[in-house]
Structure 1
């Protein structure tokens, strides 16, 4: 594939200036400008994260070049000047300024939403915004949209901010400091679990699709990117990337989200050092262990299940004895015992299975038992799907309740749908904890990015 791209570029540029794609292949480096937002790119506690980062990394790997991604709010000027070859920053064509950029294929549909706080009157149209405090980011697609809409509602006013991000304005609505803001739907989905008091009033404008911005006139680069997105859509990789980030908000639960955020502030700080100790001891991400513990006990070391299982990690008597946990109600002992048991289960999952599939199969096994998960993998294979893909096994786990299927595997009946819900919940808590942890990192210390990632212009 790469050889064909290189040959095609060389043939097309024998008598013309080198294209952006040829420069990328010759230098061995892809330069991408992005923005520091939860929807695009941010530094996690231990590695870069974000949908745009993962997409850009995949494209660089497809070309066989290294990725240099850096943060700069001036995305379009950087493309026009040649400083960057791609702008991957949750962009839409409506947000473009001037005629110096083009766009690749759309990959995710979004719409601008009016956001308000629960307990206050819901705005249903432009007239309802009149008299309230509406704040938006200055020189944004949202401010431009409001300018156009003022023709429909001349009394409409708003405040524009040059130093505040959309995320900060969402937080201010949740805190009751302002009445409304406008946020793109994908950003709201990512943040709604952190601010469960927020609600959607109405869609301010039509739906659009996110896309990468490119230097205008560079058709070879555009065609190469279009081929990349067509490939990852066909293989399901695009869906898997989006699912990793948006899964946490796929089934929003107001009561559950409020309780989780409350417990993050009141309970987690008491036990965080134990989770970190368990990570050092096992190598398992402390946030994953904390997510499992929250699903098991809501971080309550005195919790008791209806079946009599006790403690932070809800270890059975057999498992506690195996892990040499003398007191299941002792938070530190339970966390360390649960972490080592999870590691033991994870090691049983075939090494050929990569993450995140291996992790979610192990979480399911922690809940249901490794043998039953293996049975579900066998059923998955019987049905012609991949037993190494969590999404495929997830779809078959409920069949362990169906006699037609459980009679054909070794360990028989099991409530597989419970394991599905268990893993779904752990995934949501894990994603929320990763974002909270990365946000804390960004706001409390200087972060040196990995060598493949640049943080400045």
Structure 2
């Protein structure tokens, strides 16, 4: 056989072995787009953070701004939503890189380092970074005083706040801070409130929300301008999902749905009253437990905590409250209103709560169906305060000025105009203290947020205590096992010593013989 024949035979053998090898492997090239993969699986996997803004379990199940948006996006793709909440930032982006999630939706800002590694979607709101401290603690006049008297500063590792400090350090090279990995912004903010930490940095919206349950948190310095918040995806040449995300946010913005969702979750947090919030939190501890059963009993379709917030706004949970205008009781009902809902004694707390809940329900049923279901309650609360007719005047005024009468964000801007002559003289029902109605509704929303946050804090504290108890029990069990093993070992050693002594005695006896 010549050399060419040997070469051809060798090549044929190699080819045959390669075919046999590949046929034994079930390897196939997946040429599906990212969108096709998601639709084939039937699930959109979204990584998020467990907090009051993005995602949390409410009384009616999962809720949160990013949860609602992600639910609607999954629906637009024709698949189910699978939220994968993380308790710390450190696990989110690695999960995206590994392909464990398709999208991150967690209220995260667009930073230079994130742009280098990931692909942001459209910005859907803006936040600024703020340095915070505990009320009563000394306040730094500028960043050069941050480490004064050994003050401790900490931020979440790999967060936008950590990057901000790195940038600031170029101007203040002696500045010292700590980067915490297994934690989140809320935990560090709570440490500031408890006095365990001197300073931290957080986003403005997160700070405003947590002040509802920790009012002692105070802003010291504004560190950045407004920064865009967005969802994130992996960098890829495949635009199948990304293009639909761009289209989704564009439609939500144009329709006003995005603005309505933002109004729902943080449209009420613009103002903050430290004294009022402190007084309310004390009332949650001291007064609410007495009335909670009645709020739950008569809440019906409402969240009982909303009914409780309404009652606090009306009477500060004082069943004997009486105003100069003649309204009285826990829900501060007028005499005609009380008669319309069958309340005979307005100072009887149970009758008052039942009547107030029924009257609010009547107002809710009268709100036009064109209003989004999520926002109907704000119109109903405004009606509870100034009357349904005046609320409708505010809607008509909104429409006349080119606003959307079905958007609470637009209508609430016009409520104060009902007290101005140039406007109320043109309305159907005339003058009304619309500015009070606006404050009334927004206060109730803030009180409601405080009750929700307070309950979450209590639940977390109980869970942490139970975890500590369990850890302590496990430690005790380990110590008991070790002690028992030690006692067993001692018993064995004693038995062995007794055997040795017996053998030694026998040996001695034998030697004597």
In structure 2, the gaps of 5 or more residues are 1-28, 465-513
Corresponding residue for residue 292 of structure 1: 310
Q: Deviations over 1:363-411 (max 9, x none)?
A: 1111122233334444445556544433344344445445665556554
Corresponding residue for residue 78 of structure 1: 95
Q: 146, 164, 175: which one pairs with 2:194?
A: 175
C-alpha displacement of 1:107: 2.4
Corresponding residue for residue 33 of structure 1: 47
Corresponding residue for residue 159 of structure 1: 178
Corresponding residue for residue 251 of structure 2: 231
The answer to whether the Cα contact below 8 Å between 1:133 and 1:180 also exists between their aligned partners in 2 is yes
C-alpha displacement of 1:232: 1.9
Corresponding residue for residue 58 of structure 1: 72
* Change over 3 Å in CA distance of 1:375–1:205 after alignment to 2: closer
> Which has the higher mean CA deviation after the structures are superposed, 434-443 or 424-433?
434-443
Query: Displaced runs of 4+ in structure 1, greater than 6 A?
Result: none
C-alpha displacement of 1:143: 3.4
Distance 1:239 1:223 in 2: 21
Superposed, 1:35-434 pairs within 5 Å as 35-72=49-86, 73=88, 74-94=91-111, 100-130=117-147, 131-204=150-223, 207-217=226-236, 218-279=238-299, 282-381=300-399, 385-401=403-419, 406=424, 410-434=428-452
Distance 1:31 1:168 in 2: 26
The answer to whether the Cα contact below 8 Å between 1:76 and 1:97 also exists between their aligned partners in 2 is no
- Would you tell me which structure has more helix in proportion to its own residues? 2
C-alpha displacement of 1:97: 6.7
* Change over 3 Å in CA distance of 1:26–1:307 after alignment to 2: same
Secondary structure of the 1:190 match is: helix
Q: Deviations over 1:401-451 (max 9, x none)?
A: 4566555655444333332222222222223333334444555579xxxxx
Distance 2:160 2:425 in 1: 58
The answer to whether the Cα contact below 8 Å between 1:44 and 1:438 also exists between their aligned partners in 2 is no
* Change over 3 Å in CA distance of 1:271–1:236 after alignment to 2: same
> Which has the higher mean CA deviation after the structures are superposed, 96-105 or 132-141?
96-105
Superposed, 1:437-448 pairs within 5 Å as 437-441=455-459, 444=462
Distance 1:185 1:389 in 2: 24
Secondary structure of the 1:249 match is: coil
Distance 1:47 1:346 in 2: 22
Distance 1:388 1:206 in 2: 32
The answer to whether the Cα contact below 8 Å between 2:108 and 2:229 also exists between their aligned partners in 1 is yes
Greater Rg, structure 1 or structure 2?
Answer: 2
Distance 1:320 1:21 in 2: 57
C-alpha displacement of 1:339: 0.9
C-alpha displacement of 1:149: 4.1
The answer to whether the Cα contact below 8 Å between 1:133 and 1:178 also exists between their aligned partners in 2 is yes
* Change over 3 Å in CA distance of 1:264–1:420 after alignment to 2: same
* Change over 3 Å in CA distance of 1:443–1:65 after alignment to 2: farther
Secondary structure of the 1:34 match is: strand
Q: Deviations over 1:159-197 (max 9, x none)?
A: 343343221211121222221112122211221232222
The answer to whether the Cα contact below 8 Å between 2:212 and 2:449 also exists between their aligned partners in 1 is no
* Change over 3 Å in CA distance of 1:49–1:124 after alignment to 2: farther
Q: Deviations over 1:126-164 (max 9, x none)?
A: 321222111222343433543454444343223343343
Q: Deviations over 1:10-69 (max 9, x none)?
A: xxxxx9822222322343321111111223211112222222112212222333322111
C-alpha displacement of 1:345: 2.3
Q: Deviations over 1:189-230 (max 9, x none)?
A: 221232222222224456532211101113332222222222
* Change over 3 Å in CA distance of 1:413–1:237 after alignment to 2: same
Query: Which fold has the larger relative contact order, with Cα–Cα distance below 8 Å and residues 6 or more apart in sequence?
Result: 1
The alignment's TM-score, normalised by the length of structure 2, stands at: 0.76
